[in-house]
């Protein structure tokens, strides 16, 4: 599938509408239907779906595009749904798969981040850094107090991820006051089932990069993974309270964002 991109330019100067411009890459909010179509095309390529990856949530979200500045090539994208508070969690993508009633009492602005993907032919770690820098800019600007979403493992076989799930159980489960309950019909209850001590090296090798970044900032996960056969993934609900991010990590993020 061809992914639309901006025309080539010999001048990679920052452009109006950019959230962040660092090195080879810039991040910006989608400005029109063509931008959203480009994000959907990249998602379709990354997720390997037969149909174009689109749903009704796209109409309610802000879409962030990360592009190579010189060529305009779209290398990463994600979408964000802003909520006034926990009373609105029922209208999120995640609420289709998790019982989020425990979050209904969260008093503060929230954002659900979803459909995060990086072009499979681009492996530059700066792409993820710029994406998180753009997210930091958005979170600060919108005065967000909690960031959450679904973090996905490729495939639906749990055996290859047992050390990763054991690590999540031992170190990163959600606080009881926010813990999502089971809603989806097909789940892997790793917190209840796993008794193994995780091999830390194997766990981190199997941990998706996006989830790994959440955890480094103090993020937490649900006690079960949803088996999503349509998207061919296992995913865990992931939350991050902005106020709980370690000060040193905040400084690093804002250094990128600034």
Identify the domain containing residue 202 by its residue range: 18-257
Structure tokens belonging to residue 191: 């917190």
Confirm whether 9 is domain-assigned.
no
23-66 tens-digit pLDDT = 899 999 999 999 999 999 999 999 988 899 999 999 999 999 99
Question: Computed from CA positions of residues 43, 45, 46, 51, in that sequence, does the dihedral angle turn out positive or negative?
Answer: positive
Tell me if 219 is assigned to some domain.
yes
Split into its structural domains, the chain has a count of: 1
- The CA distance from 211 to 154, in Å, is 12
Q: What three-state secondary structure class fits 161? A: helix
- Is 61 domain-assigned? yes
* Residue 241 within any structural domain of the chain: yes
Q: Is residue 75 part of a domain?
A: yes
* pTM strictly above 0.75: yes
Condensed to tens digits (0 to 9), the pLDDT of residues 175-230 reads: 999 999 999 999 999 999 999 999 999 999 999 999 999 999 999 999 999 999 98
Q: Read off the pLDDT band of 9 (50, 70, 90).
A: very low
CA distance 90 to 99: 9
In a domain, 56, yes or no: yes
Q: What is the CATH number of the domain that holds 160?
A: 3.40.630.30
Residue at 10 is within a domain? no
184 within some domain: yes
């Amino acid at each position: 599938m061809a992914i639309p991109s901006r025309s080539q330019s010999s001048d990679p100067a920052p452009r109006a509408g950019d959230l962040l411009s660092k090195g080879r890459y810039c991040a910006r909010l989608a400005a029109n239907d063509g931008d959203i179509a480009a994000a959907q095309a990249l998602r379709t390529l990354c997720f390997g779906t037969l149909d174009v990856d689109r749903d009704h949530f796209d109409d309610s979200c802000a879409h962030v595009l990360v592009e190579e500045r010189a060529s305009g090539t779209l290398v990463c994208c994600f979408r964000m749904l802003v909520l006034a508070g926990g009373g609105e969690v029922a209208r999120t993508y995640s609420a289709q798969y998790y019982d989020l009633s425990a979050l209904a009492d969260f008093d503060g602005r929230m954002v659900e981040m979803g459909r995060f993907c990086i072009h499979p032919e681009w492996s530059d770690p700066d792409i993820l850094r710029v994406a998180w820098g753009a997210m930091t800019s958005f979170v600060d600007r919108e005065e967000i107090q909690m960031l959450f979403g679904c973090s996905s493992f490729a495939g639906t076989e749990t055996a290859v991820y047992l050390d990763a799930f054991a690590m999540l159980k031992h170190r990163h489960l959600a606080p009881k006051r926010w813990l999502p309950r089971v809603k989806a019909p097909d789940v892997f209850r790793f917190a209840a089932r796993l008794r193994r001590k995780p091999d830390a090296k194997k766990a981190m090798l199997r941990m998706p990069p996006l989830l790994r970044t959440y955890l480094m900032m103090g993020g937490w996960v649900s006690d079960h993974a949803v088996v999503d056969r349509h998207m061919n993934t296992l995913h865990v609900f992931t939350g991050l309270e902005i106020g709980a991010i370690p000060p040193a990590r905040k400084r690093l993020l804002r250094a990128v964002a600034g």
